[in-house]
Amino acid sequence: MHPSRKQAEALLNESEKLNPGKWADHCRVAAQCAEKIASACTGSDNLDPDKAYVLALLHDIGRRFGPSQFGHISDGYHYMQQLGYDEAARICLTHSFPQQDIQSYIGRYDVPPAEVTKLGQHLAALQYDDYDRLIQLCDSVAMAEGVVSINQRLDDVERRYGHFPAEKRAALIRLKAYFEAKMQRNLYSVISDNPALWENAEK
């Protein structure tokens, strides 16, 4: 279960007022990317562009409760569960884990250890689907100001958090290749109007 586009947009607008910041525009950019990629995917296991948009728009909704690191995952997960949006709750949890391991989080665990353990168990029990993978990818190309390359975005995260593990970067670059194979197109040509980005060939 997930909200409609209108409901999701209203939720994000309300949340942005509670905790103003660039995070809300980052979510809007991620949502536009998710919708475009989902529309460009071909094949029998098609993604629903509307659902992709909504799930990406809400992936950081935990930030409505104030500045936090791991806390935004936990807050978003529980908030979406409370509203009955289990599919959005799942994305609040999975979006930070291209490696399906709660210990691979790069920020601070600013919640009680028991909460990390509990969410780690939920995460490990999931079978990732293409919505999980898609929002992980969109999170890694969306800045508040617009679309950037994976490496530009991760360099920015590295500057803010102090480090970004090579394995996690490699996992995101594999996701780019995964969706490019589904779309039969270069990722950046789908999500950006900037021709300079299209040449970007992360391997």
Nearer to Fe ion, 30 or 183 (CB): 30
Scored b (16 or more CB within 10 A) or e, 88-114 reads: bbbbbbbbbbbbeebeebbbebebeee
Q: What minimum distance in Å lies between the beta carbon of 184 and Fe ion?
A: 27
- Check residue 16 for interaction with Fe ion (CB under 5 A): no
Q: Answer whether 179's CB lies under 8 Å from 37's CB.
A: yes
- Check residue 132 for interaction with Fe ion (CB under 5 A): no
Angle at 16 between CA 15 and CA 19, to 5 degrees: 90
Kindly indicate which of the ranges 35-43, 45-53, 82-90, 136-144 contains the residues binding Fe ion, using the contact rule CB under 5 A.
Answer: 136-144
Q: What minimum distance in Å lies between the beta carbon of 60 and Fe ion?
A: 4
- Check residue 60 for interaction with Fe ion (CB under 5 A): yes
Contacts 24+ apart (CB under 8 A), 194-198: 194/147, 197/147, 197/148, 197/149
The DSSP line for 19-77 is: S-STHHHHHHHHHHHHHHHHHH--SSS---HHHHHHHHHTTTGGGGG-S-SHHHHHHHH
Pairwise CA distance, residues 203 & 101, whole Å: 23
Nearer to Fe ion, 23 or 179 (CB): 23
Nearer to Fe ion, 132 or 139 (CB): 139
Q: What minimum distance in Å lies between the beta carbon of 3 and Fe ion?
A: 18
Please count the residues of this chain forming the interface with Fe ion, following the rule CB under 5 A: 2
Nearer to Fe ion, 16 or 139 (CB): 139
- Check residue 139 for interaction with Fe ion (CB under 5 A): yes
Q: What minimum distance in Å lies between the beta carbon of 135 and Fe ion?
A: 8
Query: One symbol per residue from 67 to 86: x for binding Fe ion (CB under 5 A), - otherwise; what is it?
Result: --------------------
Q: What minimum distance in Å lies between the beta carbon of 139 and Fe ion?
A: 4
Pairwise CA distance, residues 97 & 101, whole Å: 7
Q: Which residues bind Fe ion (CB under 5 A)?
A: 60, 139
